[in-house]
Structure 1
Amino acid sequence: MAATVLLCFSAPLLAADNESPVTATIGGRLHLDFASFDNDGRGTPNKDDTEIRRAWLDVSGKFFVVDYKLEADFSGDHPEAKDVYISRSFGDAGRLTVGQFKQYYSLDDRTGSNYGSFLERGNAGTTLVPLYRLGASWQANPGDMTWAASVYSLESIDAWQVKGRAAGGRVTWAPSPAAGDVLHLGLSLAREAYDNPGVNGVPALRIRPRPAGHLSDESRLTLVDFSAGRDTDVNKWSLEYAQVRGPLSWQGEFSGATFDDGAQRGEVMAAYGMLSWFVTGESRSYDRKTGRFARIKDIRHKHGAFELALRYDQMRGSQHLDGQADLRKGSTEAWTLAGNWYLRDNLRFMLNLIESRNRDRLADTTLDRTRAVTGRLQFDF
């Protein structure tokens, strides 16, 4: 409703000059996905399927002394709010943002879904990151550094049942010699306090990655499960590293989290490493003001750009009652080979070949082995 009112109010101003006190720009993205699985005989097989992975629309601009953004995803049964905030710049001192926004955590998550080399982020990027939360943040970009700090609620506009409080932040460093020559280092931290997960309508707190893509629900393995209703404290961290050298780039992150509800503890550790090569000679674009990868620029050939990428991703989890042996200990891992054809800078076709495996480390057995071919047609504006 708010988006509709604002669009109606600002529609006459869409073509106004840059000095207008109220402006509006409409954008969006459409991601059409498919997945085909080769399941082994263990567990329930994943079904081949297609989906509208994302169908986002947004309006952003200026409203007198503040900037704003209203964004929603229409791919599900009902619209889901994403960025819904106002912000204001205070020059070199930084920018204040208030509302619902994606929290500042990890290179993998901060790189938008339009610009990643794979259909899905790594295990840590899909299970540990705070995502879109209601809160307030301050961000700044002094020289070769960026930093952001925020306080936020654990509920969001569409997930109000999750209760709790949190604080987190991210700092990056990237000296700036030239385009196509990037060194990125970063650190993300967060502390979250969940109220009564698992009872009275509050969702359980579980870490359950999808090792073979977004449609591989039957291959999910529970690494930790805090659903007894006791308040749970979670500490999260992630170390980031990336480099770009012309058409080659490589990056990795080492992430972790600890869980404590007063009676039991859990720990999750995750790491990935990836290598990207633009066969046609382009370079991955990097935004030094935000510390993340961005839209590819200067496609060299009339038939587009082609990228090959390879990633290894692993996540391990364990859980135990205080003073006792582990009651849960498992791991999931996946190799992903990607081919991306950029017909234009905002239009691409993606294809991923995935080999994944889940293991029960207490029983020393393989629980699931799944291969998948996944793909996406992607357009944004």
Structure 2
Amino acid sequence: MSRTRITAAAIGLAGALAGSQAQAQSASNSDQEIALLKQQLKMLEQKLDKLQNQTAANTAAAAKARAEAKAEAKAEARSEAKAVVANANAAFPVKGAPPTAGVIVTMPNNRPTICTSDGANCVAITGRVHWDVGGYDYRPNTASTVPQKLDSGENVRRARIGLAGKFFNDWNFALVYDFGGSSDGFGGAAPGSLPGGGVSGLENAYLSYTGLKPFGGRMAIEAGIMDLPYTLDEATSSNDIMFMERASPGVVATNIAAGDFRSAAGARWFNDQLWIGGYVTGPSTGAIHSASSAAPAGTSEQYGAVARIAGNPISGKDYSVHIGADAQWLIQPPRNLIANTQTVTLSDRPELRLDPTTLVSTGAIANVSGAQVYSVEAAATYGPLILQGEYFWYNVDRTANTGVPLVGAPSLKFQGGYAQAGYVLTGETHTYNAANAAYNGVKPAHPFSLDGGGWGAWEIAGRFSTIDLNDQLASANGVAGGRQNVYTLALNWYVNGNIRFMLDYLHGTVSKQTLPPTAFANTGSNFDAVAMRTQFAF
């Protein structure tokens, strides 16, 4: 029994020891598991910190991207706001970004311009000076030729300063005064003239609405004192014409009821290929008119109308073709209430303004009830080459019932035209201005500069013009206004976008005779002239 008890005790002790060892082993395993869990927890905490840092970095990057995008949008808005009206007659600016506070000052083509930051409202200072110097070799045919001499010298042809701009994108305006014409007017104290005979005055004072865009084009409704885009030569800015003066046939036509300084109201519609416009016109600025015969000159206002259709039906990268037709009507001639007469005079100087004397003139045509001018125009460009020409037919009606006897006086008919060509030696082209249906001037690709720049643009040009103001010479009521032919050669240097020098040589012949034309004595003249213009404009 004792051996059995000993054996049982031994077995029991062995079991106890085994249980104790198992518990110890179990405790050891628990510690390892705890340590492993702690390690995993630490790794999770590290991952969490890393995720938090990454999230913070992403948030900062997103905020930076938003700030950069906002800055870029503001820059684009400022860039759009820099666009201003192209010129006083053809400004159709593109609408800018949504309104923001502040203004922007820019200098497009060196023209000081102030715009609101949304580009909807702009005011620009505009100006031009054309200063001419030259001389004549004038040779009258007879001792009875009038005049016997032309005066050489200088003339501030144009000296303009003013404002141009827009309101609320669609309302365009201009207010420009011309101080030029130091020897450009006619002698005496004529209405609107300065001492010495130079004519100056309000050149532009108009308002134009451009908010309508019917039939896929653009439209302007305008009124005030303006330069009417009547005829191709007149629709071309005086800053861009190839010669110092426009051809006489066009000048004679525009002086009847169109031209510069003219009061007018009308509209024009255009797209890239077609231009259509019509205006009613009144007197020019400076003309004194009154219904009272006691007023100075005692002359009532005149009224007329002009219409033009023109276009650029063929065009490509380096070529274009322009065609058009024009009409003008003098509906109510100016009436002198003191003398009870209605007269019209057709005349022009010999395509130079150093001397204000006219060489061809109809004189005051009496009993005028109206007048009409019809013309055609054409032009083409091919690279640096430009061709241009116009022809005019004038008709003067003499049926007015003014109480001044004029027996057997049918309508008078005159005509004239010009053809010209230019070639830019440095390769630039005359681009097309759809807003006026005319051609722009030359913009040098490499403006002149002694500091590493170019030599500007150089252009040569030639023109022939003719006008015949004679009609019914065999009749006692005929008009012997004379016939004038002028040949002109020109060399133009476009220094940069603002400065140009022009050198013109003119050779002219004038054929005139007295009425009645029994002897047919030619009391005309011949002349040669050389003149230079210094021009700057902005």
TM-score of the two chains, using structure 2 as the length reference: 0.64
- The aligned amino acid for 2:499 is L
Segment of structure 1 superposing worse, 310-319 or 39-48:
39-48
Per-residue deviation, 1:17: 2.6
1 CA distance for matches of 2:506 and 2:537?
A: 25
1 CA distance for matches of 2:497 and 2:490?
A: 18
Segment of structure 1 superposing worse, 337-346 or 11-20:
11-20
SS at match of 1:174: strand
Per-residue deviation, 1:110: 0.9
Per-residue deviation, 1:79: 4.6
SS at match of 2:503: strand
Distance 1:359 1:198, change over 3 A: farther
Counterpart check, 1:258 vs 2:395: yes
Q: Deviations over 1:194-244 (max 9, x none)?
A: 435566389952112212511244452213531x4x343010112001010
Q: How does 1:155-234 map to 2 (within 5 A)?
A: 155-161=283-289, 163-175=301-313, 177-197=315-335, 200=338, 204-218=343-357, 220-223=359-362, 225-226=364-365, 228=366, 230-234=367-371
Counterpart check, 1:31 vs 2:106: no
Q: How does 1:211-360 map to 2 (within 5 A)?
A: 211-218=350-357, 220-223=359-362, 225-226=364-365, 228=366, 230-262=367-399, 263=406, 264=409, 265-300=411-446, 302-320=454-472, 326-328=478-480, 330-360=482-512
2 CA distance for matches of 1:353 and 1:321?
A: 33
2 CA distance for matches of 1:163 and 1:231?
A: 14
SS at match of 1:344: coil
CA contact (8 A) 2:342 2:368 kept: no
2 CA distance for matches of 1:12 and 1:277?
A: 39
The residue that corresponds to 1:81 in the other structure is: 202
Amino-acid identity (%): 23
Which stretches in structure 2 are left out of the alignment for 5+ residues? 1-102, 106-112, 142-146, 182-193, 290-299, 400-405, 448-453
Segment of structure 1 superposing worse, 33-42 or 250-259:
33-42
Segment of structure 1 superposing worse, 330-339 or 257-266:
257-266
Which stretches in structure 1 are left out of the alignment for 5+ residues? 1-10
Distance 1:326 1:138, change over 3 A: same
> Match for 2:166 among 62, 87, 106?
62
Per-residue deviation, 1:176: 5.2
- The aligned amino acid for 1:51 is N
- The aligned amino acid for 2:280 is V
2 CA distance for matches of 1:125 and 1:274?
A: 13
- The structure showing larger relative contact order (alpha-carbon pairs under 8 Å, at least 6 residues apart) is 1
Per-residue deviation, 1:300: 4.2
Per-residue deviation, 1:45: 1.1
Q: Deviations over 1:337-375 (max 9, x none)?
A: 000011112211101000011102652625111110011
> Match for 1:92 among 210, 213, 230?
213
SS at match of 1:53: strand
CA contact (8 A) 1:212 1:219 kept: no
Segment of structure 1 superposing worse, 278-287 or 251-260:
278-287
The residue that corresponds to 1:105 in the other structure is: 230
Segment of structure 1 superposing worse, 197-206 or 23-32:
197-206
1 CA distance for matches of 2:210 and 2:337?
A: 41
The residue that corresponds to 2:150 in the other structure is: 46
Per-residue deviation, 1:335: 0.2
Name the one with the larger strand percent.
1
The residue that corresponds to 1:5 in the other structure is: none
- The aligned amino acid for 2:372 is N
CA contact (8 A) 2:247 2:351 kept: no
Per-residue deviation, 1:175: 2.6
- The aligned amino acid for 1:48 is S
CA radius of gyration, larger in? 2
The residue that corresponds to 1:135 in the other structure is: 264
Distance 1:364 1:212, change over 3 A: farther
Distance 1:63 1:56, change over 3 A: same
Name the one with the larger helix percent.
2
TM-score of the two chains, using structure 1 as the length reference: 0.88
2 CA distance for matches of 1:87 and 1:206?
A: 32
Per-residue deviation, 1:116: 0.5
CA contact (8 A) 1:146 1:291 kept: yes
CA contact (8 A) 1:266 1:317 kept: no
The residue that corresponds to 1:377 in the other structure is: 534
- The aligned amino acid for 1:232 is S
Distance 1:197 1:331, change over 3 A: farther
Distance 1:321 1:176, change over 3 A: closer
RMSD over equivalenced CA pairs, Å: 2.7
1 CA distance for matches of 2:355 and 2:137?
A: 11
Segment of structure 1 superposing worse, 92-101 or 34-43:
34-43
2 CA distance for matches of 1:12 and 1:157?
A: 35
The residue that corresponds to 1:8 in the other structure is: none
CA contact (8 A) 2:469 2:479 kept: no
The residue that corresponds to 1:4 in the other structure is: none
Segment of structure 1 superposing worse, 33-42 or 119-128:
33-42
> Match for 1:147 among 276, 279, 292?
276
Distance 1:375 1:176, change over 3 A: same
CA contact (8 A) 1:295 1:345 kept: no
SS at match of 1:284: coil
SS at match of 1:127: helix
